[in-house]
Copies of this chain bind each other. A is one copy, B any other.
Amino acid sequence: MKKTKLTLKDVALQLGVSTATISNAFNRPDQLSKAKREEILSQCQKIGYTGPNKAAQILRKGTSNIVALVLADSISYMVRDPVASKFIQGVSEKLQKHGKHLLLYAGDSETILDVVDFVDGFICYGAPRNTHLISELSTSSKPVVTVDFDIEGKPAINIDNEKGAYEVASHALKTGDNVAIFGLRLIDSPSTCRIYDNPLLDVESSISHRRLDGYIRAAQEKGIDISNEKIWHLPESDRHFARQAAKEVLGSVPRPDVVLCMSDVIALELLQQATDLGIKVPEELRITGFDGIDEADRSRPRLTTVCQASDTKGAEAAKALLNGVEDKRILPFELNIRETV
């Protein structure tokens, strides 16, 4: 018959000292003699008191050592995506090193109110699907760091997407090319399709539109025009959606010479489809990716891409949050010219 969990008060009573002393023994070693402290700690161990109740500490101190990572989408999707998981890796490593804990928060949740009162801060990776969260985050009194998008007045971490896209496209394109683009979340549609003249989504803020800008600038410099029927919209960076687009582009006549892809995942799917169809890459078809995931270096031929160190991004975001950094940062990317152009 186990008795109910010991409280600090119980312990104080048993050891014949005040509650403050017990509390100090655990939290403020400088407030009592080393000897007394060790004595208390060992007594506690003996009677099975493992330290102050954390729930009470959270209420009392107002901090919990928990950081919420708000993802753009459902946790389930984000964990599957190699780019997001690299980011999570970076965050978690940094947090663990500082004794903080990681709460994963879905970007399609209703609200952040469930946790805002007890977490120590938010890292927000990508614009959450439920845009309401953005306004909650922006008025929250807890620290917020955003990544791959921006909230006015909050610190942010980004790369220069326009420049990355421009550079990789410049490498891939030749005058006279017939070029197609596999874009991400360009319009408001749940399925893969060409954008035609559908209204564009978040043109100002989305990283996809910055990448598109870069591609188009590079194309224009080579005198290439890319019409809207050559631009595909994929709702997510997912093989499943890429399959459809790949089928369409590989079956079109005349077939494009180059396909610029806004993520490695979709580029890799296209590459595989092309290979299975006996289309030679890069001789008959050039492909570029974006992100620099590990798998891009394992494909044959190896994928040419823009490598953004997502784990570093995660670590920087965590660092910014922990250090109370206030400014916006642009991280470098690296052009990885490999075998698909």
Contacts and interface: CB of A to CB of B under 8 A. Distances in A.
A104 interface: yes
Interface string A64-75: 111000000011
Interface stretch (A112-120, A178-186, A249-257, A278-286): A112-120
Interface residues of A, number: 46
Q: Is the interface of A mostly helix, strand, loop or mixed?
A: helix
Contact of A79 (B88, B103, B114, B118): B88
A321 B16 CA distance: 40
A224 B26 CA distance: 60
A113 B51 contact: yes
Q: How many copies does the complex hold?
A: 2
B79 A92 contact: yes
Interface stretch (A30-38, A55-63, A189-197): A55-63
A115 B75 CA distance: 21
A96 B65 CA distance: 22
Interface in A1-46: 5
Contacts of A103: 66, 101-104
7 contacts: A5-B141, A53-B117, A65-B114, A75-B96, A80-B85, A80-B89, A102-B104
